[in-house]
Structure 1
Amino acid sequence: MKFNDYYPAVLKEIEETLGEIDETIISNFALQILDAPRIFIAGVGRTGLVMRCFAMRLMHLGIEVQILGDITTTAVSRNDLLLIGSGSGETDSLLSLAKKANNIGVHILLVSIDPDSSIGKLAQECLKIPAPSPKLTHKQEMTSIQPMGSLFEQSLLLTLDCLAGLLMHKKGMDSESLFMYHANLE
């Protein structure tokens, strides 16, 4: 297969996946993010990198956000919000974090392929991204021409970027006003 044949197929997969995103849950996520005193972000691997991108956008929106695992991360408190990205919803380290957060009274949101996963059962709400994953053992709704979890990771990035755009509009901000939060020591 050639690049010019491959990328349109990849874009079609992403478009089909994003077309299945539940608008109501996205709206709920936006409201919960705006209502939370602080946001904590968690994810590992490539998904973790995407979650870090979203944390950066939240910071640009003037929202207090921290990435779990960073050395400057503070303690969580009851009513804080933990947003977890996990394709399978079964990642051991994230499941452990979710259990601890649940015991503290932290509000948990999950973005995953599998809302019925172990982390999904601990979360107050789960946004499903219907992409395939080699980690899931049950029958999956779709297949992908891409390697491993690429479709989930790409769809996660675009979904969270769209969510950041919705938050920007809800806060009455624009790209110019976000720039005041951009790093100035580079």
Structure 2
Amino acid sequence: MDTVSYAQEIVNELQRSVGQLETAEAEQLAALLLRSGKVFVAGAGRSGLMGRAFAMRLMHTGKEAYVVGETVTPGIGPGDVLVLGSGSGETASLLTMAGKAKAAGAAVVAVTISPESSIGRLADQTVKLPGAPKEQTDGGHITIQPMASLFEQTLLLFYDAVILRMMEETGQTSTRMFGNHANLE
């Protein structure tokens, strides 16, 4: 297969993946974020990169949003939300974060392939995303992509869809959001 054919197959996989999302779970997350105080986002590896993009867009919408682990990230507390992106739902560092957030009185959301995972069971809300865990992509024919690429790509699309829903609910426009865009670049 050539490079363009691979790209087309990735788009096809994403189309199938997005078609499996649960509207109710997505709507609940958007509503929770709209009524929350601060929003904290975390994930490990590439899932973490997708979370960083989500935190940036949340900030553009006017939400007070932080990436866990950054030096300017404040403490979490009641009324706040921690959003964890984890394919497996078993990442030890994220599980520890979830426990600390719950102890501080914050809500925890797990966006994961495995809602029945350790993080999923601890979370106040789960959003199930389709995808294949890193270790199960070769034999299952779920995806042609390596490791958890399909989950990570779906995660970014899902996060962007949540932003669009929040924009709709608050009357935000790209023009208004641009006022929160970085201007020291």
> TM-score range with shorter-chain normalisation?
over 0.9
Query: What residue in structure 2 maps to residue 157 of structure 1?
Result: 156
Within the alignment, does 1:39 sit opposite 2:39 as a pair? yes
Query: What residue in structure 1 maps to residue 15 of structure 2?
Result: 15
Q: Which runs of 4+ in 1 moved over 4 A?
A: none
Equivalent residue of 2:71, what SS?
coil
Within 1, Cα distance between the matches of 2:184 and 2:116? 43
Within 1, Cα distance between the matches of 2:65 and 2:30? 14
**Uncovered stretches (5+) of structure 2, i.e. residues with no partner:** none
Within 1, Cα distance between the matches of 2:27 and 2:184? 34
Query: What residue in structure 1 maps to residue 182 of structure 2?
Result: 183
Computed over aligned residues only, the root mean square deviation of the Cα atoms, in angstroms, reads 1.4
**Range moving further from structure 2, 26-35 or 98-107:** 98-107
Within 1, Cα distance between the matches of 2:4 and 2:184? 39
- TM-score, scaled to structure 1: 0.94
Mapping of residues 87-102 of structure 1, within 5 Å: 87-102=87-102
**Count, aligned residues:** 183
Deviation of the 1:4 alpha carbon:
2.4
Mapping of residues 25-174 of structure 1, within 5 Å: 25-135=25-135, 143-174=142-173
| Code of the aligned partner of 1:18 | V
| Code of the aligned partner of 1:176 | T
For residues 101 and 81 of structure 1, do their structure 2 counterparts lie closer, same or farther at Cα, with a shift above 3 Å needed? same
For residues 40 and 95 of structure 1, do their structure 2 counterparts lie closer, same or farther at Cα, with a shift above 3 Å needed? same
Equivalent residue of 1:156, what SS?
helix
CA deviation profile, 1:71-92 (whole Å, cap 9, x unmatched): 1111111221111101110001
**Uncovered stretches (5+) of structure 1, i.e. residues with no partner:** none
Deviation of the 1:142 alpha carbon:
6.2
- TM-score, scaled to structure 2: 0.95
Deviation of the 1:135 alpha carbon:
4.4
Judge conservation of contact 2:134–2:146 (CA < 8 Å) in 1: no
Within 1, Cα distance between the matches of 2:28 and 2:72? 29
